[in-house]
Amino acid sequence: MSSAGAVDADIAVVGGGASAALLVAALRRAIGAQQRVRTPRVVVVERCQRPPGTGVAYSTVEQQHLLNVRADALGADPQDPGGFVSWCATKGFSYGVDDFVPRSRYGQYLNEQLTATCGIDVSVRRADVVALRARPAGGWTVATTAGDLAAAAVVLATGNAAPGAPAALAALGRSGRYVGDPWRTDLAARASGIADVLVVGSGLTMVDVVLTVTAVSPAARITVVSRHGLLPQAHRRGRDAPVSIVTAAQADRGDVDPRELLRRVRLALAEGAAWRAVVDGLRPVTAQLWGSWSDAQRRQALEHAGRRWEVHRHRMAPAVADRMAALHRAGRIEIHAGTVHSLVHGADDRISYRVRGDAGVGELRQADLVVNATGPAASVVDDSHPLPTSLLTAGYARPGPLGIGLETDPTGRVRDAAGRVQLRLFAIGSLRRGTLWESTAIPELRSQAVDIAAQLATLPDATAPDRAPAPDRSPAPDRATASDCSPEPATSSRPGDAPSPVPRAAPV
């Protein structure tokens, strides 16, 4: 820990996934354009023992897990969206602009973006951040499980929260037949050789689960249950030019409420526009639309169209969609709209359950494994990462609209409990979802990274306070050992064994 005025890092980045990699790349570009007396120091604090920059989504090693965006849209620099394809060519990987590349390959690209040595001094500290404390001299003390770190500015890049557990699954507790978070578990080992799987949730996480299970257990039968029973739609192999139905000016003025937006979508479809083109045309103005709506309008939009937006906006790669369709035709996967009912871990070490749908409660079914694939929770107040909860408790942050994420200003600066922006505390990615709604895909993340990097590159000396710091009400740091986030070992669940504790896919 440094003295009162000095800092250990110019910038501390909390989280070492895709958001951190894109931010570091943007910082390198922003700072490279300046005349600097010394090289800025950036410390990335990552609690998991995975390659820096890869995060949950891009650390997978399974080749069937594909990106759900074409390769030519995934460059780290918004001014060079084809940069990923160029990188692939330099590495000898023969991917074209229209290819949907394995996520592991993109993870390699992100790792290089974070660890490149030119322009700034980047180091990775393996620890869990448990609290922040405002420093009287300006900046922050970052309390970690490996000791305190003094930083002039902090960027929160913690990624998605862990999935929430549906109430029906609580009955399974720590059963060895239950996977509460498929991204914190060696799912392939747990699913090897099993016959029947129940998957709760039908989004992109479910798709990854199905691909993993069927790779290790080719004969497995999979039952998917979700409230609406809607699966992600597929990308076309060709391309549709985006169709604009809302201008930026209209979105900024608040001319288009949820009802008007739905009317315009229906009109465009009736006039022959392709639905993919309409959805893609909304992408540049989604954040403005969301920001122009009241909380009541946001709730209305989510209740009536939220799930349909998700399945049309965040699509499967064509090859993945083909695989899912083939499994469905072969009777290997069933999709049910409804809820899981009467879950019981029986004496035969199998899970019995029923599905409650519109027609009532269905027949008794059995599963060898139950997987929670509901996707990341919207709230930041959960047990998966203590920092956001700590920030709220200390008054350094406040919840975003509808309680989703943290509230930020348009440039990514976090607002404190009184609504004041903090010049040295930023958020990127899923923590801004309440403010922006669409805030997890690479194009959105890299744009946020550019905005934040531009501010970080011009911050005044950290020894000058931005404003009187808020009282330090943060809880004492938890000095528990940092988690290595490694997959859990396969759990034996033979009759008589003690239950083992069972400690996500991000759209692109």
Q: How many helices (H) and strands (E) does the chain have?
A: 16, 17
pLDDT of residue 359: 85
Structure tokens at 36: 């600097």
Q: pLDDT band at 381, cuts 50/70/90?
A: low
| Helix, strand, coil percentages in the chain from 3-state DSSP, rounded to 5 | 35, 20, 45
Mean pLDDT within 325-350 = 94
pLDDT at residue 358 is higher than 90: no
Q: Residue 172: phi, psi to the nearest 5?
A: -80, -20
pLDDT digits (tens, 9 = 90+) for 162-214: 888 888 888 887 888 999 999 888 999 999 999 999 999 999 999 999 999 99
pLDDT of residue 420: 97
**Residue 353 or 161, more confident:** 353
Domains 9-162+378-456 and 167-234+315-372 in one fold: yes
Structure tokens at 459: 């911050």
Cα separation, 31 vs 23, whole angstroms: 12
Measuring CA to CA, which residue among 456, 473, 368 is closest to residue 412? 456
The domains of the chain are located at: 9-162+378-456, 167-234+315-372, 248-313
Mean pLDDT within 44-58 = 93
pLDDT at residue 466 is higher than 70: no
Find where tokens 């009282």 sit.
471
pLDDT digits (tens, 9 = 90+) for 383-394: 567 798 899 999
Structure tokens at 445: 């993340």
pLDDT at residue 345 is higher than 70: yes
pLDDT of residue 175: 86
DSSP conformation letters of 453-482: HHHHTTPPPTTS-SSPPPP--PPPPP-PPP
**Residue 295 or 35, more confident:** 295
pLDDT at residue 36 is higher than 80: no
pLDDT digits (tens, 9 = 90+) for 251-273: 999 999 999 999 999 999 999 99
pLDDT of residue 165: 82
CATH topology of domain 9-162+378-456: FAD/NAD(P)-binding domain (3.50.50)
- What proportion of the chain, given as a percentage, has pLDDT over 90? 74
pLDDT of residue 464: 40
Mean pLDDT within 290-312 = 95
pLDDT at residue 1 is higher than 70: no
**Are 157 and 414 a contacting pair, CB within 8 Å?**
no
pLDDT at residue 481 is higher than 50: no
**Are 13 and 448 a contacting pair, CB within 8 Å?**
no
pLDDT of residue 494: 34
Q: Of 20-29, 36-45, 487-496, which range is least confident?
A: 487-496
Q: pLDDT band at 506, cuts 50/70/90?
A: very low
pLDDT at residue 504 is higher than 70: no
Angle among Cα 243, 508, 201 to the nearest 5 degrees reads 105
pLDDT of residue 382: 61
Yes or no: domain 167-234+315-372 corresponds to CATH 3.30.2010.10:
no
pLDDT of residue 383: 58
